[in-house]
Amino acid sequence: MPIARAAASVNLDGFELRVLHLPLVSPFTTSFGTETVREVIIVRAITADGDGWGEIVTQQAPLYSSEYTHGAWDVAQRYLIPALLDAGPLAPEDVAGALAPFVGHRMAKAGLELAVLDAALRAESRSLGEYLGATTDRVPSGVSVGIQRDPAALVEAVGGYLDEGYVRIKIKIKPGRDLADTAAVRDAFGAIPLQVDANSAFTLADADTLAELDRFDLLLIEQPLQEDDLVDHAALARRLRTPVCLDESITSRKAAADALALGAASIINIKAGRIGGYLEAVAIHDLCRDAGIPVWCGGMLETGIGRAANAALAALPGFTLTGDVSASGRFYSRDIVTEPAVLENGHVRVPTGPGIGVEIDQIALDEFTVDRVELRR
Ligand code: NPG
């Protein structure tokens, strides 16, 4: 179901970029490191008809993927924004094409596209959910739990999130912090919906250990091997009963189609940042829906801007598995939107207002800004 009705073009006067440092409510540890502050770039598209907001979800260092904040900051100013400002009146559907000559940098492209989309949809008083094809007004909320000091601390953290009402738990694993952590959560909480995320930390040589995860009846194992290990993922998938889900490897609709053709995944995590934008996300959703492959919406510790957009995306009908669309309070005590996402009976509401459907808390935005630049046509 491609976008049913295109958005009108916008006349871009310029863009503002800000680097923000948002303190996390607790450290977030994955197989690639620990974050205590979320460094993120906020994009404001400036048009005669009003502003649009987007978010570039890079991290400080290139540990999850090759992108990182100051790389995105540079490429956006040096190449991407000038290309958009030179393009004349621009429809959101044309952003990806205007940026296509520049290889990679998908998170930067996604953040710029979202800002243009938001500006265009606000000008038409149309919500992002309606535009993308959302079919529900609230989405079930899963939580991603970082690696803790030990399995007992993990059980305590998971228990807290279950008490808050999260309907699905994902725990981070890495070599040496895999079977015992998963067993501890299964033993403590019984048959809860549970999945694990390795963030590329294993190799095919670890297949025996990973096969032992089969006894925990997990919903899926996410990205056990490296980003470019499609053939090895296919070999691993043949060894496991646990479904293999890909995240880092899926950088585009084409990559998704290749992964499915190879049997490298039976489930796909869709993150708009990782694949260059929300329109590519809809394309992967459509591909998977036609192929009978379940998808779910991943998270990148988004601020209220990206979090609202993710809720809209997760409301498309092919998102049959619970995503990492948690409440803002999971990561932030103060967000940069006036109505941060909250958990209501284990669900997050899909905003219905124009564009991404949330308003910016300008005071909070200023408070967390550490760098700012404006580029005009
Ligand atoms: O709920 O936003 C969230 C976080 C979900 O675990 C999560 N994200 O590998 O999926 C991931 C991980 C991540 C976060 C990766 C930030 C890279 C950056």
**Which residue in 318, 313, 299 sits closest to 357, CA to CA?**
313
Q: pLDDT per position in the chain (377 positions), as tens?
A: 567 788 889 999 999 999 999 999 999 999 888 999 999 999 999 999 999 999 999 999 999 999 999 999 999 999 999 999 999 899 999 999 999 999 999 999 999 999 999 999 999 999 999 999 999 999 999 999 999 999 999 999 999 999 999 999 999 999 999 999 999 999 999 999 999 999 999 999 999 999 999 999 999 999 999 999 999 999 999 999 999 999 999 999 999 999 999 999 999 999 999 999 999 999 999 999 999 999 999 999 999 999 999 999 999 999 999 999 999 999 999 999 999 999 999 999 999 999 999 999 999 999 999 999 999 99
- In angstroms, the first-to-last Cα distance of the chain is 35
Q: Is 170 a catalytic residue?
A: no
Pick 130-349's CATH classification: 3.20.20.120, 3.20.10.10, 3.90.550.10, 1.10.10.10. 3.20.20.120
Q: What are the start-end ranges of the E strands in the chain?
A: 12-30, 33-47, 50-56, 138-140, 142-145, 168-172, 194-197, 221-222, 244-246, 267-270, 295-297, 347-349, 369-376
Which pLDDT does position 8 carry in this prediction?
Answer: 86
Domains of the chain, by residue range, sit at 12-125+361-376, 130-349
From ligand 1's centre to the CA of 195, what distance in Å? 14
**Contact at 8 Å (CB) between 55 and 42?**
yes
- Two structure tokens written together for 211: 């096969």
From ligand 1's centre to the CA of 298, what distance in Å? 7
From ligand 1's centre to the CA of 50, what distance in Å? 31
Nearest ligand 1 atom to the CA of 59 is: 18
Q: Whose CA is nearest to atom 13 of ligand 1?
A: 300
Nearest ligand 1 atom to the CA of 172 is: 6
Q: What is the CATH number of domain 12-125+361-376?
A: 3.30.390.10
Sheet holding 168-172, edge to edge: 142-145, 168-172, 194-197, 221-222, 244-246, 267-270, 295-297
Identical fold, 12-125+361-376 and 130-349: no
From ligand 1's centre to the CA of 245, what distance in Å? 14
* Mutate which of 324, 326, 332 for ligand 1 pocket (most atoms within 8 A of beta carbon): 324
From ligand 1's centre to the CA of 204, what distance in Å? 23
From ligand 1's centre to the CA of 266, what distance in Å? 20
Q: Whose CA is nearest to atom 5 of ligand 1?
A: 299
Nearest ligand 1 atom to the CA of 223 is: 9
List 109, 170, 174, 271, catalytic entry: 271
User: Which residues approach ligand 1 with their CB closer than 6 A?
Assistant: 59, 64, 144, 197, 199, 247, 298-302, 324, 326
Nearest ligand 1 atom to the CA of 326 is: 1
Nearest ligand 1 atom to the CA of 199 is: 9
Q: Whose CA is nearest to atom 16 of ligand 1?
A: 300
Neighbours of 227 (CB within 10 A): 17
Q: Is 271 a catalytic residue?
A: yes
DSSP 7: P
> With 0-12 CB in 10 A as exposed, 13-18 as middle and 19+ as buried, what is 134?
buried
Q: Whose CA is nearest to atom 12 of ligand 1?
A: 300
DSSP 334: S
